[in-house]
Structures are given as C-alpha cells and as structure tokens.
C-alpha cells in the first residue's frame, strides 16, 4: 500500500521570465502596479532525489504563448494524428536539471516533412511505395514538401546580399 506523503517543491524562475516581465512592465502594463496573471507549471517526476518543481518562464503570461499542457484556461484540443499510443510529437525538449521533458506545440507548418497535407496525401495514395521512396532518398520529403526549395531560396538570398564596399 502506498503511503501519501507531503513532498516539498522548489520554485524555478527562468531568467527569460525576468526579461519578459521587465519588457511587459514597461511596454504593455505602462508601470501599472495592479495584479497580472501568470501561469507556471508543476513537475512531480518519479526521481526520489529531486524535489517537485514549480516552474515559471517567459511563456507563462496570459496571452496564449504558454503551452497548452501548462495553461489552465486553454481548452486542450486533441490533434488529428492521435494513435493508440498517444500523440507523436515533432519535438521533445528535455531538461536534465529537472529530469523532465516538454512537448512544445505550435502552428501547423505547410512544409512539414511529418504532417503536411502533401505528405499525408502521398502516403494515403501510394502507401508502402511512398515509404520506400522516403527510406531510399534522404531528400525525398524535403523535395516533396518544397522545404528544400525554400532552403535554397534562403541560401540564394544570403549569397545575393552584398555589403556597401563590394562590387558586382
């Protein structure tokens, strides 16, 4: 039988929080000293050597930037691509100091090599032959989605930029 016990927690204020608070205090709140809402997130990992943590960072102001998993008022939406194993994240960020991971969320990217409509349609239409193309050609997904063309355009832009003292 598991005994319920009190676990003290430590607070972790990220330096980015102080920077964002200062910016907001001057630019948005106009030195108004009334209470403002911020949100933190609690992490109670299974590691007995680490205390539970309450974290506050630059994303935790009430303007929609805080990740859905730590924002108490935001309705959690279930992504379309949920499998029997749960969501398949594009990125997992880990923090060794806190023994925790975060699954950042963001807007859908039309040229994403994992979930863009063109990739899903190609997989739906071609099935296993699509997978073979992906496995055999490292650049196939980047070319299919247009991501490679976007990268080349960005590289070309850097090449074309000349400083004032350069000649053509």
CATH number of the domain at 69, please.
Answer: 3.40.140.70
Q: What is the pLDDT of residues 1-43, one digit of tens each?
A: 555 555 555 566 666 777 777 888 888 877 777 777 776 666 6
In whole angstroms, give the CA distance from residue 57 to residue 20: 9
**Does a structural domain hold residue 85?**
no
Do 68 and 121 have their domain in common? Answer: no
**Does a structural domain hold residue 110?**
no
Of 74, 100, 125, which one is at a domain's C-terminal end?
A: 74
Backbone region of residue 59 per phi and psi (left: phi > 0; alpha: psi in -120 to 50; beta: other values): alpha
**Does a structural domain hold residue 17?**
yes
For residue 152, what pLDDT band results from cuts at 50, 70 and 90? confident
Residues paired with 108 in a beta bridge = none
Q: What is the pLDDT of residues 89-139, one digit of tens each?
A: 566 677 766 677 776 666 667 888 877 889 989 999 999 999 999 999 989
More confident site: 133 or 156: 133
Structural domains counted in the chain? 2
Do 14 and 69 have their domain in common? Answer: yes
Residue given tokens 């205390």 in the structure block:
51
Backbone region of residue 122 per phi and psi (left: phi > 0; alpha: psi in -120 to 50; beta: other values): alpha
Residues 6+ apart with CB under 8 A from 91: 103, 104
Q: Which domain holds residue 134?
A: 117-160
Residues 6+ apart with CB under 8 A from 19: 58
More confident site: 83 or 115: 115
**Does a structural domain hold residue 3?**
no
Q: What are the E-state strand segments in 9-152?
A: 9-13, 41-43, 52-56, 82-83, 86-87, 93-95, 100-102
pLDDT for position 78: 44
Q: The pTM is what?
A: 0.39
């Amino acid at each position: 039988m598991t005994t319920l016990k009190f676990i003290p927690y430590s607070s972790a204020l990220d330096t980015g929080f102080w920077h964002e608070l200062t910016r907001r205090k001057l630019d948005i709140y106009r030195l108004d000293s009334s209470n403002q809402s911020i949100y933190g997130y609690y992490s109670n990992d299974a590691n007995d050597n680490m205390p539970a943590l309450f974290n506050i960072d630059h994303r935790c102001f009430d303007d929609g930037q805080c990740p859905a998993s730590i924002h108490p008022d935001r309705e959690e939406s279930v992504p379309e691509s949920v499998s029997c194993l749960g969501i398949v994240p594009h990125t997992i960020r880990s923090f060794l100091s806190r023994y925790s991971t975060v699954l950042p969320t963001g807007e859908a990217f039309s040229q994403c090599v994992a979930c863009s409509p063109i990739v899903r349609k190609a997989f739906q239409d071609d099935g296993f032959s699509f997978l073979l193309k992906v496995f055999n050609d490292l650049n196939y997904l980047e070319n299919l989605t247009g991501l490679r063309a976007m990268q080349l355009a960005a590289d070309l832009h850097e090449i074309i930029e000349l400083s004032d003292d350069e000649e053509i």
